[in-house]
Amino acid sequence: MTQTLTLRRPDDWHLHLRDGAMLQGVLPETARHFARAIIMPNLVPPVVTGAQAAAYRDRILAALPEGMAFEPLMTLYLTEGTDPADVAAAHASGLVKAVKLYPAGATTNSHGGVRDLAKVTPVLEKMAEIGLPLCLHGEVTTPEVDIFDREAVFIDTVLDPLRRRIPELRVVMEHITTEEGVAYARAGGDRLGATITTHHLIINRNHILVGGIKPHYYCLPVAKREKHRLALRQAATSGEGRFFLGTDSAPHVDALKEHACGCAGCFTATNTMQLLAHVFEEEGALDRLEAFASLNGPRFYGLPANESTITLTKGAPAQWPAKIFTEAGPVTVFDPGFPVHWHVEG
């Protein structure tokens, strides 16, 4: 039985760091284990231009504790007023690695997102021309569509028509949560990738609702039926290059999670690698964890894999803080609800 596992240092291909005091508090939790991360641009106001992305990157690096190494990979928030020339210049400079499309109203701070895809077609065509990936929050927001069906409907009515219209566009289906998402990613060819979160490998919708509402398990896209969780686990542990880790680790202070209208998001930056080792061991796939966490993402984004390594060891039950205390307020760390015996040694 494997007791020690060494792999190239992982990257997180979907991360929320927020800004200000929250950024200061949560950045070390990611930088401790991850070399790089795709940084989400849904601040208030959002990161729309190359200049704003450069300024945000400077704030992230200024918040990095001395002695830690971490590279933020910046993204732009796509709006119906986004300038294709600015996007191209930001990409050419090496600063911006992707553009993020939020359907308006889909999740946290997405009210400025896209309502009419036709209005952003010039940007998407420019991105296809220069090879800049589009990261998609893949849910429709029309109120008549059930929240548990919004990903599958998005694939059929938005994503597939978009990819047929602009076939050269590189697309990342972020945080897929359904067997339909897995199937579409598998059939999508080399220009389509899909990230899977840590928490969607562990929880289904029962965890949120059975025995009382559990706000720290509430996320968007919302966790689905058990059959979907099992499909995600099979995809993540398959070793297939189209699937890679994007934690969607999303810090909110407890007062806004434990609220009459609580925020969506699970904070998993602290313990993701331990949880993934547990999941991959359960699936008999520890030898494929490096592909999922460290190799497939860089390959899709055209970046080299990290040269440095981390080592996980199995032993006594792991412990991590229940909360991260920031100057913005306490943030609850995701609790898987079962003992985990894996530790990250460095």
Please list the active-site residues: 248
Residues 6+ apart with CB under 8 A from 168: 128, 129, 191
Residue 64 to residue 29: CA distance in whole angstroms: 10
- Six token digits for residue 332: 């609850």
Where would I find the beta strands (DSSP E) of 183-328?
192-196, 243-245, 309-314, 323-326
Residues 6+ apart with CB under 8 A from 229: 200, 201, 202, 203, 204, 223
Upstream peptide bond of 221 is cis (omega within 30 degrees of 0): yes
- Six token digits for residue 284: 């008999």
Whether 311 and 4 have beta carbons less than 8 Å apart is answered as yes
Residues 6+ apart with CB under 8 A from 208: 214, 217, 218, 222, 223
> Residue 78: which H helix or E strand, with range?
none
> Residue 48: which H helix or E strand, with range?
none
**Phi/psi at 303 (5° precision):** -120, 155
- Six token digits for residue 201: 């490998």
